[in-house]
Amino acid sequence: MQATDHLADSRYARMRWNTPLSEEHAALLLRRLDVRPGARVLDLGCGWGELLLRAVTAGGVSGALATRGVGVDTDDAALARGRRSAADRSLDRHVAFVTGEAAAWQEAADRVLCVGSAHAFGGTGGALDALATVVRPGGRLLFGDAFWERPPTPDTEEIFGPEVTDLPGLVEVARERGWRVLHLSTADQREWDDFESTWLAGRQEWLLTYPEDPRAADIRAELDERLRQYVGGYRGVLGLAYLVLGR
């Protein structure tokens, strides 16, 4: 049982957030998102909500104009981590974590985050259409989505699906749906390398600690395949764009 608990806990243990994003880049995005005192912040597909917690903090949590936030996800373990983080920072009265489907959420907010979760809406276009209904007039959306830095091989394209486009195509999808691009930046190579390394790291450490565990062979094979796909397939090919959008 002890090994089982350690394995479950190890999956995202070394990750700050589940996206290729540095501390400096995150701070820039939050400045561009411009969370105001008293704002309501919504994170759809929040995971453990690290960026949500920072957004709420940026807006201010004291007095009558305290900023409040809601994170929505289907991963109960990630949501539990988010609640612990909120409590550790005395934000548990200001941020709620809700188990639910991102695409089913209907309550609007002043600032909305949706990073790496377009798939929950059926793809980029569907996500941008749906998110327009939950961003209040005059609000802003932080939208993080994949694009091709360079043409992928057929094997790499199969991993991520045929809807991924290049960066001009991604911007055009947003523009066609009435969004204005208030900020655009992309993950750099160091952010990608750190993201992929930390995605692996918790379970790599588990393998070193429990090499004889009956599940070790399967975990080792999964991690080795992910590393092969990254360094041999989509490293420098798949990009991640962060768009701050208004309408």
Residue ranges of the domains in the chain?
A: 21-188+237-246
Fold of domain 21-188+237-246: Rossmann fold (3.40.50)
Q: C-alpha distances in angstroms, 51 versus 106, 155, 166?
A: 21, 32, 26
Taking residues 166-183, report their average pLDDT. Answer: 98
* pLDDT computed for residue 5 by the predictor: 59
Q: Which comes out higher in pLDDT, residue 6 or 167? A: 167
Q: Which two tokens stand for residue 189?
A: 């190579």
Residue 130: which of 179, 57, 71 has the closest Cα?
A: 179
- Residue 216 confidence (pLDDT) above 90: yes
* pLDDT computed for residue 8 by the predictor: 85
Each residue of 153-165: b (16+ CB within 10 Å) or e? eeebbeebeebbb
Residue 118: which of 194, 70, 177 has the closest Cα?
A: 177
* pLDDT computed for residue 3 by the predictor: 46
Kind of pairing between the strands at 68-73 and 135-148: unpaired
Q: Which two tokens stand for residue 15?
A: 């990750």
* pLDDT computed for residue 9 by the predictor: 85
Burial class (CB in 10 A: 0-12, 13-18, 19+), 14: middle
**What residues contact 214, with CB distance under 8 A and at least 6 apart?**
none
* pLDDT computed for residue 6 by the predictor: 82
Tell the residue number behind the tokens 């190579």, with chain if given: 189
Q: C-alpha distances in angstroms, 207 versus 71, 78, 103, 197, 247?
A: 32, 22, 36, 15, 48
Secondary structure (3-state) at 187: coil
Q: What is the CA radius of gyration of the chain?
A: 18
Taking residues 69-94, report their average pLDDT. Answer: 97
Complete DSSP assignment for 41-56: EEEET-TT-HHHHHHH
Q: Which residues pair with 44 in a beta bridge?
A: 72
Taking residues 85-96, report their average pLDDT. Answer: 97
**What residues contact 202, with CB distance under 8 A and at least 6 apart?**
9, 10, 11, 12, 13, 14, 15
- What share of the chain has pLDDT > 90, as a percent? 94
Answer whether 53's CB lies under 8 Å from 18's CB: no
Task: Quote the CA–CA distance of 131 and 94 in Å, as a whole number.
Answer: 22
